[in-house]
Amino acid sequence: MGYNSALAAKHRCGLVLQLFLGLINPLEKVGRQIADVKIAKMSAEGESDKLIHDEQIAVLEGRRDILLEETKHSSTRWIRPAFAAPFVIYNLKVIVWDKVLGWGVTDPLSQNMWWIEVTIIGFYFLGRPVEKYFRK
């Protein structure tokens, strides 16, 4: 595999990971979009452009509010822990059973599953503070 094809594969992997992160933490994506529109509004020339940006901001803030509301309901609150549970169990097994007690050997995760685990862990340690910040 040449340098260019390896670079293209790495770029595709980065795009897929970025898409996956956007699906896991859409709140961050909406927050970034709000910031981008506010910046565009500051550089807008006329009042009509500023009104268009205000409308876009209101729509995006509505999406953000819906995402925040969903985290308060028990019907949607279980989804995030359900995605994390297999990786929590896997890590507990590897750390406690295999390493601490020395009673077993667990097959390593595939590269794809490893990145999913890293994404979920990153979401919990980076996504939750962002959500709490926006709730204030």
The tokens for 19 are 């898409």
Return the residue matching tokens 């169990």.
Answer: 89
Specify whether the CB–CB gap between 127 and 21 falls below 8 A: no
Specify whether the CB–CB gap between 58 and 37 falls below 8 A: no
**pLDDT at residue 62, as a whole number:** 87
Report residues of the chain scoring pLDDT below 70.
1-26, 71, 73-77, 127-128, 130-132, 134-136
- 32, 49, 16: which is closest to 134 by C-alpha? 32
- 96, 87, 32: which is closest to 63 by C-alpha? 32
Write out the H or E segment, with its range, that includes residue 77. Answer: helix 74-77
The tokens for 2 are 């040449």
